[in-house]
Amino acid sequence: MKALIYIFIGGGLGSVMRFLISNFSQKLWNIKGFPFGTFTVNIVGCFLIGLASAYFLKVDNYLKFLIITGFCGGFTTFSAFSIENYTLWQEGNYGILALYVGLSILIGILAIFLGFWVLKN
C-alpha cells in the first residue's frame, strides 16, 4: 500500500511538471510544426529515469516508486519505453529490442488511426 501512495503522489507531480515544461518549451522554442514541448519532456524524462534507475540499482527503498514509477511515469511514458529498450540492449536481446521498438511505433500509430476511425463512424 505504501508503494501505491508513493506512485500516486509522484504521478501527480510528474503530470503537472509535464504540462508546465511542455508548454514553456513549446513557447520558448516555437519551431513551426515541430512538437518541441513533447520532445523536451521526453528527453528530460529519459535523462531522469536513467539517473534514477542507476541510483536505485545501488539503493533499494520506496523512493524508487515515487521517482521512477510515479514521477517519471506521470512525466512521460516515453522514459519507461526508453529504459526498457536500454535494458533489452544491455541484456543483448537485440531482436526483441528491434521488434519492441518497431511494433510500438507502428501499432501505436495504427491505434491512433483506429481511435479516430471508430469515432468518425
pLDDT in tens, 38-64: 889 999 999 999 999 999 988 888 899
- The Cα 24–Cα 60 span in angstroms is 34
Question: Would you state the pLDDT for residue 8?
Answer: 97
Whether 73 has a binding-site annotation, put simply, is yes
Question: Would you state the pLDDT for residue 12?
Answer: 97
Helix H or strand E segment including 89: helix 77-90
Q: Which of 27, 3, 23, 4 is nearest to 15 (CA)?
A: 23
Whether 77 has a binding-site annotation, put simply, is no
DSSP class of 60? -
Question: At residue 42, what are phi and psi to the nearest 5 degrees?
Answer: -60, -45
C-alpha cell at 42: 521526453
Question: Would you state the pLDDT for residue 16?
Answer: 97
Question: Would you state the pLDDT for residue 109?
Answer: 92
Q: Please list the rounded mean pLDDT of every run of 10 residues in the chain (121 residues).
A: 95 96 90 85 92 88 93 89 92 94 92 89 76
Report helix, strand or coil for 121.
coil
- The Cα 52–Cα 62 span in angstroms is 12
